[in-house]
Amino acid sequence: MRYIGNKTRLIPFILEAVHRLVPRPGIACDPFAGTASVSHALKREGWAVHSGDLMAFSYALQVARVELDRIPGFSRTILAELEDDEGPRGGTAYARLLERLERLPSSHGFITENYSPAGESGAHFGRMYFTPRNAGAIDAVRERITDWMKAGRLDRRQSQLLIATLVEAADRVANTTGVYASFVKSWQPNARKRLELRPLGPTGRRNGGGRCTAFLGKAIDRVSSAGTIDLLYLDPPYNERQYPAYYHLPELIASGWDPPPQLRGKTGLIPDGSLRSDWCRRDRCEAALTELLAGADARHILLSYNDEGLLESDRIEAIFREAGDPDTYRRLNRRYRRYRSDGDGPDRTYARDRVREQLHYVRRA
């Protein structure tokens, strides 16, 4: 999934730091999981990972990529719906389910009405996040998942795996430049492609790693519920962009629309008061970091932060030295090409093309 702050390209740098600073895999907590790329990488290295995030679409990705060790089975009643004269019967139940969901008749539902040009209401007409065909496919799949959940035919892990699959599929055909703060006014090549539900592959535990868990909620609550841990990995927002406004459509697809939310603005933003983060506020982010470290029972703490962030590096260092053994404090740096959702223009000019990711580390006695 295209995502601001996604650490996929920095995984080797992060793992190198973990290998250097932490003696052996144990229990890790990643309370700002995002797309779960770091949690997934740590799990592959043998860590028992407790991930978390405020966003529902992140929770679905956490379940699919971190919590699940294998693809779950599906009930015979659901499988019976898959077996028809037109569709293939080979492969796993999960793969067959996705094939059947792709063939569902299009539905003029909430996404079609509010986020495609097929919307009939004047206030919503013209939003070009999805083509009418793809919007109808998203509606049909999400509505069927909702029906199965209400009927008790999907458990939590099954439903979140299917939701994660749909979120990824929708993102591949979204008519955006990578964030959902706006849509492109003409159809991009990716947006014209048909919605495709590609199976996600859960990763099994490695080297005897313990059970991994996913969590939906605030970072401080995730850290508290994780208990005593060996590694606390922190990747909080570092600027004033509130993620609910940048990813309101993945969040809507993950949360569903029963009852339908009250949308606002040209882009159809969803209610997000409970999802707004103090980490994105200049006057609150330092207190948020201090409070989180004070409440964490962790031997090793590693913070990933951008050098353009709201918190100055020297302040982070001071907070870390106070939170742990000051002699163990380390700061590692890696330059990389910044994520750009668009090019320079009259409304925005990027100060520089390359930025520096900083890893702040401290050990507690």
Q: Are residues 152 and 296 in the same domain?
A: no
Nearest to 159 by CA among 21, 55, 253: 253
pLDDT tens sequence across 210-243: 899 999 999 999 999 999 999 999 999 999 988 9
Q: Are residues 84 and 151 in the same domain?
A: yes
Q: What pLDDT score does 160 carry?
A: 98
* Cα dihedral sign, 259-261-262-263: negative
The mean per-residue pLDDT over the stretch 159-171 comes to 98
> Does residue 259 have a cis bond before it (omega within 30 degrees)?
yes
Q: What pLDDT score does 350 carry?
A: 46
Q: Are residues 237 and 308 in the same domain?
A: yes
Q: What pLDDT score does 348 carry?
A: 47
Q: What percentage of the chain exceeds 70 in pLDDT?
A: 91
Q: Are residues 82 and 220 in the same domain?
A: no
pLDDT tens sequence across 266-316: 999 999 999 999 999 999 999 999 999 999 999 999 999 998 899 999 999
Determine the Cα–Cα distance for residues 269 and 217; give it in Å rounded to an integer: 20
Residue 262 belongs to a domain: no
Tokens of 53: 């995030």
By residue count, the chain amounts to: 365
Residue 259 belongs to a domain: no
Start-to-end CA distance of the chain, whole Å, equals: 38
Q: Which single residue is written with the structure tokens 């951008």?
A: 306
Q: What percentage of the chain exceeds 90 in pLDDT?
A: 77
pLDDT at 338 over 60: no
- Which residues are within 8 A (CB) of 281 and not within 5 positions of it... i.e. 6 or more apart? 240, 310
Determine the Cα–Cα distance for residues 324 and 250; give it in Å rounded to an integer: 37
pLDDT grade for 32, boundaries at 50, 70 and 90 = very high
Determine the Cα–Cα distance for residues 5 and 32; give it in Å rounded to an integer: 11
Q: Are residues 23 and 146 in the same domain?
A: no
Q: Are residues 56 and 115 in the same domain?
A: no
Q: What pLDDT score does 89 carry?
A: 52
Q: What pLDDT score does 90 carry?
A: 55
- Three-state secondary structure readout of the chain: CCCCCCCHHHHHHHHHHHHHHCCCCCEEEECCCCCCHHHHHHHHCCCEEEECECCHHHHHHHHHHHHCCCCCCCCHHHHHHHCCCCCCCCCCHHHHHHHHHHCCCCCCCHHHHHHCCCCCCCCCCCCCCCCHHHHHHHHHHHHHHHHHHHCCCCCHHHHHHHHHHHHHHHHHCCCCCCCCCCCCCCCCHHHHCCCCCCCCCCCCCCCCCCCCECCECCHHHHHHHHCCEEEEEECCCCCCCCHHHHCHHHHHHHHCCCCCCCCECCCCECCCHHHCCHHHCCCCHHHHHHHHHHCCCEEEEEEEEECCCCCCHHHHHHHHHHHCCHHHCEEEEEEEECCCCCCCECCECCCCCEEEEEEEEEECC
Q: What pLDDT score does 78 carry?
A: 84
Q: Are residues 125 and 168 in the same domain?
A: yes
Q: What pLDDT score does 365 carry?
A: 75
Q: Are residues 217 and 324 in the same domain?
A: yes
Q: What pLDDT score does 1 carry?
A: 85
Q: What pLDDT score does 5 carry?
A: 74
- Three-state secondary structure readout of 69-107: CCCCCCCHHHHHHHCCCCCCCCCCHHHHHHHHHHCCCCC
**Spatial contact of 91 and 65, defined as CB atoms under 8 Å apart:** no
Residue 318 belongs to a domain: yes
Query: Mean pLDDT over all residues of the chain?
Result: 91
Q: What pLDDT score does 36 carry?
A: 96
CATH number of the domain that residue 294 is part of: 3.40.50.150
Structural domain of 178:
76-192
pLDDT tens sequence across 68-115: 999 999 887 787 776 654 555 556 889 989 999 999 999 999 999 999
Instruction: Return the minimum-mean-pLDDT range out of 2-6, 32-36, 57-61, 359-363.
Output: 2-6
Q: Are residues 146 and 236 in the same domain?
A: no
Q: Are residues 65 and 95 in the same domain?
A: no
Q: What pLDDT score does 344 carry?
A: 46
Q: What pLDDT score does 14 carry?
A: 97
Q: Are residues 156 and 43 in the same domain?
A: no
Q: What pLDDT score does 346 carry?
A: 52
- Which residues are within 8 A (CB) of 162 and not within 5 positions of it... i.e. 6 or more apart? 97, 101, 145, 154
Residue 127 belongs to a domain: yes
pLDDT tens sequence across 126-150: 899 999 999 999 999 999 999 999 9
pLDDT at 23 over 80: yes
Determine the Cα–Cα distance for residues 229 and 38; give it in Å rounded to an integer: 16
Strand partners, 327: none
pLDDT at 197 over 50: yes
CA 243 to chain centre: 10
Q: What pLDDT score does 123 carry?
A: 64
Q: What pLDDT score does 85 carry?
A: 47
